Each structure stands twice: as structure tokens, then as C-alpha cells.
Amino acid sequence: MDIVKIENLKELIIEISGQSVLLDSDVAQLYGVETRDINKAVTNNPDKFPAGYIIELSKSEKIELVEKFHRFDKLKHSTVNPKAFAEKGLYMLATILKSPQATQATISIVETFSKIRELSRSIKKLSTVQDKADQKSLMQKSGELISEIFDDDMQTSDSETSIELNFAVLKFKHTIKKKNK
């Protein structure tokens, strides 16, 4: 069984209707099952997936997805519109699928979404903090989160952070010096 890594997940997460989601086919691949098994689990457990947990793509959204991402070419001729799982939907799916691979994938998915959410909070807070020491601390934290999300196999040896304000627009710059673990 391959361990699901955060850097592999970040490439699968897409944004639909303002939410970060994973498509049913990607979830199936991560969990080591067929897409039909994912959709059957949803159909057989409708009470576990209230509104907002799953988004069923419209035909136009499916077409747009196929045009934007080559990895979805197989959807081009499919008569079924894919489902997109929001974070809460993935949690619920984890209560249904019990294989070791599904458990490991769920842990990685939860960690990835959690780090993205934490980064978002840190950046929002950064725009309101006036104290230079607090700004530096938040910038360091944000940089570390970016590093964890985008490059989990590397170890940070040094980090340099700077902040630029330009006509009331916050510009974020973070340099990370890396070395292999």
C-alpha cells in the first residue's frame, strides 16, 4: 500500500462553487476502489451526505473541467456528471469506507485541508496585525505551512520572510532554503 502524501493531494484539489473539493474519481483512486463504489456508498447512505457535503457537477461544469484539466479527459464522453466531495463529505465517506488504504488517504486529506485552512486564517490575520514582531511570527508560520503543503519531502534548513505593502495591497513574499531529509 502506498502512503498518500500531501504533495500528491494538492494537485487533486480543485475549486468548484467557491469550495475546495476532490472529484469522485480522484477519491476512488486515493481510496483504492472504483468510482462506482464511491458513488454507491453515497447512494446507499444519503443521510450521511446532507446539502453542501457533495456537489454534483452540472453538464457545463463538467465540460469546463475537461477543458481545463487533461486528467479529466475520460469524463468527456461520460453520460454521468461527476460528484465533488467537500471536506465534510470526505469525512463522512471515511466513516463508510473502512480499508487501510481508505483510512490512510482520509488522514492525508484531512491534514491537507487543515493546513490550507490554517494558512488562510494566518494570511487573513496578517492583514490586521500592526505589531512587527507578530507580523514576523505570522509570516514565519505561513511560510512553514506553505512549505508543508507544497514540499513535504524536504526539510527546511533556513527561512527568510519579508512583507511588502504596496498601495494598501498586501504582497506576500517567502523564501525557503531547503535540503533533502
Please report, in tens digits, the pLDDT of each residue of the chain (181 residues total): 444 455 566 778 888 888 888 899 888 888 888 899 999 999 999 999 999 899 999 888 888 888 888 888 888 888 888 999 988 888 888 788 877 777 777 777 777 777 777 877 887 787 777 787 887 787 777 777 776 666 555 444 554 444 443 434 445 454 545 554 5
- Claim to verify: residue 68 and residue 13 sit in the same structural domain: yes
Instruction: Examine the domain organization and report whether 11 and 95 are in the same domain.
Output: yes
Q: Cβ distance 10 to 146 under 8 Å?
A: no
pTM above 0.85, yes or no: no
Residue 108 lies in a domain: yes
Please state, in angstroms and as integers, the Cα–Cα distance from residue 180 to each residue in 8, 111, 156, 164, following that order: 18, 22, 9, 30
Question: Are 143 and 61 in a shared domain?
Answer: no
Q: How many domains does the chain have?
A: 2
Q: Does residue 13 belong to any structural domain of this protein?
A: yes
Which domain does 168 fall in, by range? 130-180
How large is the angle between the packed helices 100-126 and 24-31, nearest 10 degrees?
Answer: 130
Would you say residue 1 lies in a domain?
no
38 and 69 share one domain: yes
Is 94 within a domain? yes
Alpha helix (H) residue ranges in 32-78 = 35-44, 59-68
**Residue 122 falls inside a structural domain:** no
